[in-house]
Amino acid sequence: MSGSTIGKLFKVTTWGESHGAAVGAVIDGCPVGLSLNEADIQKFLDRRKPGQNEFTTLRNEDDKVQILSGVFDGVTTGTPISLLVYNKDHHSADYSNIANCYRPGHADYTYDEKYGFRDYRGGGRSSGRETIGRVAAGAIAIKILEQLGISFCAYTRSIGEHVIDYDNFDKTEIYKNDLYMPDKTCAEICSAYLKDIISDSDSIGSSVECIISGMPTGVGEPVFDKLDALLAKAVMSIGAVKAVEIGDGVSVTTKRGSDNNDNFIINNDKVEKETNHSGGILGGISDGSDIILRASFKPTPSIYKEQKTITNNKEETTLSIKGRHDPIIAPRAVVVVESMCAITILDLILQNATSTVDKIKKIYS
Amino acid sequence: MSGSTIGKLFKVTTWGESHGAAVGAVIDGCPVGLSLNEADIQKFLDRRKPGQNEFTTLRNEDDKVQILSGVFDGVTTGTPISLLVYNKDHHSADYSNIANCYRPGHADYTYDEKYGFRDYRGGGRSSGRETIGRVAAGAIAIKILEQLGISFCAYTRSIGEHVIDYDNFDKTEIYKNDLYMPDKTCAEICSAYLKDIISDSDSIGSSVECIISGMPTGVGEPVFDKLDALLAKAVMSIGAVKAVEIGDGVSVTTKRGSDNNDNFIINNDKVEKETNHSGGILGGISDGSDIILRASFKPTPSIYKEQKTITNNKEETTLSIKGRHDPIIAPRAVVVVESMCAITILDLILQNATSTVDKIKKIYS
Amino acid sequence: MSGSTIGKLFKVTTWGESHGAAVGAVIDGCPVGLSLNEADIQKFLDRRKPGQNEFTTLRNEDDKVQILSGVFDGVTTGTPISLLVYNKDHHSADYSNIANCYRPGHADYTYDEKYGFRDYRGGGRSSGRETIGRVAAGAIAIKILEQLGISFCAYTRSIGEHVIDYDNFDKTEIYKNDLYMPDKTCAEICSAYLKDIISDSDSIGSSVECIISGMPTGVGEPVFDKLDALLAKAVMSIGAVKAVEIGDGVSVTTKRGSDNNDNFIINNDKVEKETNHSGGILGGISDGSDIILRASFKPTPSIYKEQKTITNNKEETTLSIKGRHDPIIAPRAVVVVESMCAITILDLILQNATSTVDKIKKIYS
Amino acid sequence: MSGSTIGKLFKVTTWGESHGAAVGAVIDGCPVGLSLNEADIQKFLDRRKPGQNEFTTLRNEDDKVQILSGVFDGVTTGTPISLLVYNKDHHSADYSNIANCYRPGHADYTYDEKYGFRDYRGGGRSSGRETIGRVAAGAIAIKILEQLGISFCAYTRSIGEHVIDYDNFDKTEIYKNDLYMPDKTCAEICSAYLKDIISDSDSIGSSVECIISGMPTGVGEPVFDKLDALLAKAVMSIGAVKAVEIGDGVSVTTKRGSDNNDNFIINNDKVEKETNHSGGILGGISDGSDIILRASFKPTPSIYKEQKTITNNKEETTLSIKGRHDPIIAPRAVVVVESMCAITILDLILQNATSTVDKIKKIYS
């Protein structure tokens, strides 16, 4: 019953419900000496903020983060960093119909079954607002990883059948369109497509891809805490994710070994692989090439369309969910995927720092 | 550097290298009062044993398990269960060429980078033999879960482009063919197909599916230890897995909410879902319907075909891997996937047992 | 670097510095269905509040706790409970001399050595204010344990050479005197004695005892997570504790087996022990009799008397610590010891709930 | 129910019962590149071996350790180290009377209460033989710590009322007498004293002290994983320990702050303390001076003298325990205390290695 903490050395605990007083996170194990202020975190939170364009919920939140501990004179001190975002817009809604029935595709039923009781206001803990704590922690992890030369590039890869064209890939485009797509043309097509979906009172599936560059080799702990295993856990723990793929992912099932193996070569005196089907991970350990991860998001379960469901008295009923919902999950989830990858990788980088007697001697000499 | 343990309450630690003296596992936290003997475990180990048919390596191992602790008078005592399998066939091979070069698609390079050193005999810890400990622990977990009415059905779902036809699905067929496929026709096609692959000195990708029936509702711990998140970790930690899907998996990315949501209905006074796109998990918590999980396995990286690679002195070379290798991974991995799912589910079932004050009072009254 | 979390199932994370914006705790894994409001917690916090009598620091804090999550309609929901207390009186002090030198008996030097940097204001994280989070969490644990019939009685056992007379033991007296002593006469003697200590610009050692009644048998996990081992950890983690004793403690070193063994007898058809030298724990598992634990507190290191010390530039200097300090630690630490015991016991009670197959079946039937 | 693992990065799991097939340990997280063979471990195991002199049980065991994994070409590989010792002398005894009654001072009753069932042969898991795994793991930890300049000196400090005279302290004497005392005269007195105890069919309490020299500063993780807190847990988890003291321990309760504070001075340009009342730990973090820890052991509960007790049918009876028992616990426990301290310190040293951004950059540059 205590699953709100992730990480072994860089330990992130999130707390807070959609319609409670606040949401937040405590980060324990952040290395000392990192320059950190609210703005460093805010810019990440702003990427997941609601109400920023026509494809996101209208919920009125400014999501201003406060650092309550762990930072002194603008620098991390090694003590837990407590981050808090007050929920502004949590009194407005009328939840009378949701309180008594189970929305299809949501966690209403399972929470009630697990606990016999639930905070029915806006999904409670299973709300997307829980990801605020993840993103705040991710912002800190990313800032540390940048100092080690590691960088993250996450984006919406597909919306419905519309997949980005890698020949049009433009990293700078990601932050220019509302859909966080690195392909301007695809973003425009999807924008029109989404308007149709909305007008049809429906929602649509999507996917997010994350590429991590500058990885040192050797990160990941055999056999259960492999880099890919922990990335899979971290990303699958995001609401609505139904699949996690590393490198070539599902497509490896139809490939031959001679095609799928990445040959090692020497290029400018450095070890490289001719291809990167493995997505930067071999035997659960980073091989120095880009890490490539994909997450498949189901369509937003909240739709206007009338659906069949049951009440918590176990009677059949129908339900049409009012209010404005995001018709797709991917765009606002891009920064969440990025954050979960960063939290995972930093934790494993810290663990790997003591892998050999020589490394330990280096620190303590 | 300590990633060989999985689980919080049902805690499994595996140990042992492919060509060391033995491999084994310690299971700590097994509930007391389970009737258990070597045969209970052996029947699971026999499903992954090498050399049983023309599609598996010829390594000569009988893989007889010994229980060294934790069982008294045929019943578990609550103390750690230590399981051991001696490696019989670990002196024969000649590893001189593998010792000095990095096999493409294997963990040779990453282990050397991580540790500056590796046990090069047969893959060491990254060998498939490490899964013996997983399967032995899984056998125990499954035996406990059976008493709660939970059952597992895992099988090879696809080999290359050949996917089972669900209309031909026959559970009893799984153990009748060498490929552990529930579709006799597909198994025959794949059998012929694999001979071609072998004669072509190559290997091919494959997938495994696992269906878990009889799940109680309420299992899984929000937010990071969700049932799907921990299943993803457990299954992705198996060597060669490149994707984990829950329910409809990757295909949700192109689906509409109105199609993907599973409507709740009442059937014979019981809550059911009309469909099971969610794969039995909502909000990271079991919803009582079947859990459906799929793992994508890359083609066996060891192939006869000559490949380009480098030596550990960073010089380019070519390599053709001798000996008999499995041309596909799925069949022998079926029981491993099943085991990892069982270990994960039992651990979460134990955690869920104390989710409410009422449950705790029930135990302590 | 992540040591701010304690517990496996009932998981408590504290955060906050003495002179930061706030201090707090996140409790993850609190069972669902506990009636809980701020007042339940406040009454425990008030027991450790400063400035309540002549023997405590004058720091002006009202220490009002806020519940930010995890409680809905006055009942715990199973999600993390976030508790926060703002620091009111954190701007007043002048820390210029402490900033640059190491107070003897304090953690100034070790923090600087560990991190190369520290929050020098009032001890930062090593301040007694950190215990607010512990006590807030303890209040919740105690409220749950009460429902299982478990009760706590903690008090100041000794101040300097003055030890309570167990013949005068009066539980109701504990909350009547400023020193939380269960012996009125001893409290009066100590009160006069402390005035002498204060007028001598000095401080004095003390001890706290905690008796836990109504324990079920069987609590505690062999071999490293024994009940006494985890109690020792929890209590030794309180600042200034230099010894933890269970039952007869240090005095067992001079006793004979025939005196120290507690004989089992049958009394009114129930198993009892004739004596309780073991302090309620045998083999690390509760035996059903009262748990008895003692903590030895060193004298408050902050004293007015001039002391020799060094600056952080490694130059010798002298230091006289201004301001009003508690001359003894025990009275305000009584509730902290009680809280740490409660947190530990609840966590082990949850773990023990799944110790047998039969118990698990009972929950899932 | 899974308390057989200790440590976060250097993770030790012990398994095995007194009269099962074998006992052992798995060490996960041992840094790579440590030269290690069976003899390194055997010399530590030999210090706790039974039957070596007139004061220990006659159980006939040679306790030969086997390394089954984790070492290749005489060097640790970073994979789990599996250690095994077969129980030779486990068939001989007749346990019929112990099986049905509860020995006072033993864990028979509490195991039965916890599990409803127990392995009654020789104490099962609560036997002293369980410490074989601890000592084997400790031997490895000590070998690594030696390379960082950290050394351990543990010994019997007292037997009954007879305490060593520190003026006679001779480190080389420890291994010369059967009682592991650093004071020859005291050892001789105790030797005669113990013969009296034995002839009186009784046992006597004792204490062990451990001094750890060469500690780097900065080791220990605030606030719950303080160095002293984790040492207390580790040592209190040893059977028969009833108190753990750090530095001046219980005696601080009667001391004044001006006496108990250790003043900092500069000696030869290095920071030192004039005294070491703190026992080398301030705020839970090592201060660079010697760590001093004391453990109080109760008298051996197994005595020849007839004792009152009950059967497992809850009927009163009497019991006289046959066979040869150690009349004191300390001598054979010296190496166990040393081992538990080493395991704890190594784990915290690994954690501390990543405490600052600068240290992490040093590793990854």
Looking at the complex, report in whole angstroms how far the Cα of residue B223 sits from the nearest Cα belonging to chain C. 9
Residue A60 has a pLDDT of 66
Residue B186 one-letter amino acid:
C
CB contact, 8 Å: A162 with chain B? no
Q: Determine the pLDDT at residue D94.
A: 62
pLDDT in tens, D181-216: 999 999 999 999 999 999 999 999 999 999 999 999
For residue D217, give the chain A residue with the closest CA. A364
Neighbours of chain C (3+ CB pairs under 8 A): A, B, D
Residue D49 has pLDDT above 80, yes or no: no
Tell me the two tokens of residue B109: 């390079």
Q: How many CB atoms lie within 10 A of CB C62?
A: 13
Please name the residue ranges forming H helices in chain B: 38-48, 96-99, 108-115, 131-147, 184-199, 227-236, 257-260, 330-352, 357-364
CATH for A5-364 is 3.60.150.10
Note the pTM of the prediction, 2 decimals: 0.97
Per-residue pLDDT tens digits for A338-355: 999 999 999 999 999 999
Determine the average pLDDT of the residues in D35-59. 83
Query: Percent of chain A at pLDDT above 90?
Result: 85
B161 within 8 A of B155, measured Cβ to Cβ = no
- Which residue stretches of chain C are H helix? 38-48, 96-100, 108-115, 131-147, 184-199, 227-236, 257-260, 330-352, 357-364
Selecting from D32, D79, D360 the residue whose C-beta is nearest the C-beta of A353 gives: D360
Residue of C nearest to A22 (CA): C68
D222 Cβ under 8 Å from any chain A Cβ? yes
Residue-wise pLDDT for A226-272, tens only, equals 999 999 999 999 999 999 999 999 999 999 999 999 999 999 999 99
Which residues are CB-neighbours of A31 under 8 A, at least 6 positions away? Answer: A76, A78, A144, A350, C1, D354, D355, D356, D357, D359, D360
Average pLDDT, chain D: 93
CA angle D23, D27, D31 (to 5 degrees): 155
Q: What is the pLDDT along chain B (365 residues), one digit of tens a residue?
A: 589 999 999 999 999 999 899 999 999 999 999 999 999 999 999 998 766 666 666 566 788 999 999 999 999 999 999 999 999 876 556 676 778 899 999 999 999 999 998 888 878 888 889 999 999 999 999 999 999 999 999 999 999 999 999 999 999 999 999 999 999 999 999 999 999 999 999 999 999 999 999 999 999 999 999 999 999 999 999 999 999 999 999 999 999 999 999 999 999 999 999 999 999 999 999 999 999 999 999 999 999 999 999 999 999 999 998 776 789 999 999 999 999 999 999 999 999 999 999 999 999 98
Q: Indicate yes or no: CB of C363 within 8 angstroms of CB of B350.
A: no
Beta-carbon separation of B28 and D124 below 8 A: no
Q: Does the pLDDT value for residue D1 go beyond 90?
A: no
pLDDT of amino acid D91: 59
| CA dihedral (B142, B145, B151, B152) positive or negative | negative
Task: Please check whether residue B119 touches D, CB under 8 A.
Answer: yes
Nearest Cα residue in chain A from D147: A361
Are A69 and C124 in contact (CB < 8 Å)?
A: no
Whether A207 contacts A153, CB under 8 Å: no
Any CB–CB contact under 8 A between D74 and chain A? no
Tell me whether residues C119 and A72 touch, CB distance under 8 A: yes
What confidence tens digit (pLDDT) does each residue in A96-155 have?
A: 677 889 999 999 999 999 999 888 887 888 888 999 999 999 999 999 999 999 999 999
- Sorting pLDDT into bands at 50, 70 and 90, what band is C326? confident
Confidence of residue C303 (pLDDT cuts 50, 70, 90): very high
Task: Please check whether residue B69 touches D, CB under 8 A.
Answer: yes
What confidence category does residue C207 fall into, taking pLDDT thresholds of 50, 70 and 90? very high
In this complex, is the C-beta atom of C21 within 8 Å of any C-beta atom belonging to chain A? yes
Residues in chain A: 365
What are the residue ranges spanned by the domains of chain A?
A: 5-364
Using only C-alpha atoms, chain D has a radius of gyration, in whole angstroms, of: 21
Report d(CA A56, CA A54) in Å as an integer. Answer: 6
Say whether pLDDT at A54 is over 80: no
D158: tokens are 């007292």
Is C214 at the interface with chain B, CB within 8 A? Answer: no
Q: Pairing relation of β-strands C291-297 and C206-213?
A: antiparallel
CA distance linking residue B69 with residue B30, whole number of Å: 12
Paired residues of C62 in beta bridges:
none
User: According to the model, what pLDDT value does residue B63 have?
Assistant: 87
- Tally of residues, chain D: 365
Rounded Cα distance between B174 and B188, Å, is: 12
Give the chain D residue whose CA is nearest to the CA of B115: D32
Chain C: closest CA distance from residue D33 (Å): 24
Which residues of A fall within a CB distance of 8 Å from C33?
115-117
> Residue A59's pLDDT band (boundaries 50, 70, 90)?
low
For chain A, the average pLDDT equals 93
Contacts of D354 in chain A (CB under 8 A): 9, 31, 350, 353-354
For residue D350 the two structure tokens come to: 């690994």
In this complex, is the C-beta atom of C148 within 8 Å of any C-beta atom belonging to chain B? yes
CB spacing of C21 vs A66 below 8 angstroms: yes
Which neighbouring-strand residues pair with B163? B158
Contact A132, A63 (CB under 8 A): yes
Residues 6+ positions from A151 with CB-CB distance below 8 Å:
A145, A212, A213, A214
Average pLDDT of chain C is 93
* Run of H or E including A85: strand A81-86
User: Is A357 in contact with D8 (Cβ distance < 8 A)?
Assistant: no
Q: A330-334, B141-145, C125-129, C332-336: which range is least confident on average?
A: C125-129
**What's the Rg (C-alpha) of chain C?**
21
pLDDT for C123 equals: 81
Of D9, D32, D33, the CB nearest to A351: D9
Residues 6+ apart with CB under 8 A from B187: B173, B177, B178, B179, B181
Condensed to tens digits (0 to 9), the pLDDT of residues C154-206 reads 999 999 999 999 999 999 999 999 999 999 999 999 999 999 999 999 999 99
pLDDT, mean of residues D331-347: 98
**How do beta strands B285-286 and B291-297 pair?**
unpaired
**Under a CB-based contact definition with an 8 Å cutoff, are residues C315 and D266 in contact?**
yes
| Whether A289 contacts chain B with CB within 8 A | no
Q: Can you give the pLDDT at residue B92?
A: 53
Neighbours of B303 (CB within 10 A): 27
> D5 — contact with chain A (CB < 8 Å)?
no
Of D203, D262, D264, the CB nearest to C256: D203
**Number of Cβ pairs closer than 8 Å across A and D?**
80
Q: Residue C183: its pLDDT value, please?
A: 98
Least-confidence region, from B332-341, D16-25, D118-127: D118-127
Helix (H, G, I), strand (E, B) or coil at A279: coil
- What's the confidence (pLDDT) of residue B292? 98
Q: Do C254 and D161 meet the contact criterion of CB atoms below 8 Å apart? A: yes
| Interchain CB contact of B209 with A (< 8 Å) | no
- Kindly state the average pLDDT of the residues C207-212: 98
CA distance D86 to D19: 10
Strand-pair category, B81-86 with B65-67: antiparallel
What digits encode the pLDDT tens for the residues C43-81? 999 998 766 666 666 566 788 999 999 999 999 999 999
Please report which confidence band the pLDDT of residue D140 belongs to, taking 50, 70 and 90 as the band edges: very high
Query: CB-based contacts of C77: which residues, under 8 Å, 6+ apart?
Result: A17, A115, A117, A118, A119, A124, A125, C32, C70, C71
pLDDT band at A90 (very low <50, low <70, confident <90, very high): low
Residues of C in contact with D285 (CB under 8 A): 107, 110-111, 113-114
What is the mean pLDDT of the segment spanning A172-189? Answer: 96
